[in-house]
Amino acid sequence: MSIREKLPVLEAILFAGGEPVDIDKLCLSMDLESSQVKELLEMLSEKYKNSESGIELLKLESSYQLAAKKEYAPYIKTALEIKKNAVLSPAAMEVLAIVAYNQPVTKSFIENVRGVDSSGVVNSLVEKSLLSEAGRLDLPGRPIAYKTTDNFLRSFQLTGLGDLPPVPEKKEQITIDDITENNDND
């Protein structure tokens, strides 16, 4: 079977998987080298980009997944009776940012950065599958560490954590002293 003839095999695996499938599993299942699977993935991606298909290929770190194109979301919501998008609170967005840039982290690390109890927010983000447990740290009490998930990447349209915007340099950040100085001058 030629490489091109394996394209429907790849498509079937990704469709049946439903969830992101790691490239190593694709290589193993198709008995192909990584470079060959990447070539097929590129061909599949182009196929969906160039056709009038409602499907696209998503890359999430080293995994791939078939998904509906964003422009068809309203139709999908109606057909599947999905009421509305879940809006994340500012606290949830703050926790996600802390975890995304520092993972894996514990609840106590998040609370130390935020300055407030964050248990409820972390638990809510785990329930929404935006965060997951990343094991336990070898520290007293063996605290649970948390990391972002593939669902986090999908939700924020990222192919990987490398797509996160850079953290501003210290000189670009505003401090509380800058704010109080400006208010004192008014």
> Residues with Cβ < 8 Å from 56, sequence gap 6 or more?
45, 48, 49, 66, 67, 68, 69
Q: Who wins on pLDDT, 9 or 81?
A: 9
Report the SS3 class of residue 116: coil
Angle at Cα 119 formed by Cα 114 and Cα 123, nearest 5°? 120
What pLDDT score was predicted for residue 167?
Answer: 80
What pLDDT score was predicted for residue 73?
Answer: 83
In the predicted model, is pLDDT for residue 170 greater than 70? no
Over residues 112-165, the pLDDT tens digits come to 999 899 999 999 999 988 999 999 988 888 999 999 998 898 888 888 888 888
**pLDDT average, residue stretch 82-86:** 63
Which helix (DSSP H) or strand (DSSP E) does residue 145 occupy?
A: strand 144-148
> Residues with Cβ < 8 Å from 122, sequence gap 6 or more?
95, 107, 110, 131, 146
In the predicted model, is pLDDT for residue 184 greater than 60? no
Average pLDDT, whole number, for the chain? 86
- Separation CA 62–CA 65 (nearest Å): 10
Cis peptide upstream of residue 104 (ω within 30 degrees of 0): yes
pLDDT band (50, 70, 90) for residue 79: confident
pTM of the full structure: 0.60
What pLDDT score was predicted for residue 65?
Answer: 92
**CA nearest to 38, candidates 30, 169, 107:** 30
Residue recorded with tokens 């106590």? 108
- Separation CA 122–CA 111 (nearest Å): 10
Which helix (DSSP H) or strand (DSSP E) does residue 41 occupy?
A: helix 34-50
- The DSSP letter of residue 83 is -
Over residues 10-29, the pLDDT tens digits come to 999 999 988 899 999 999 99
Which helix (DSSP H) or strand (DSSP E) does residue 90 occupy?
A: helix 90-102
Over residues 24-78, the pLDDT tens digits come to 999 999 999 999 999 999 999 998 987 788 999 999 889 999 998 888 888 887 8
By DSSP bridging, strand 105-106 and strand 131-136 are unpaired
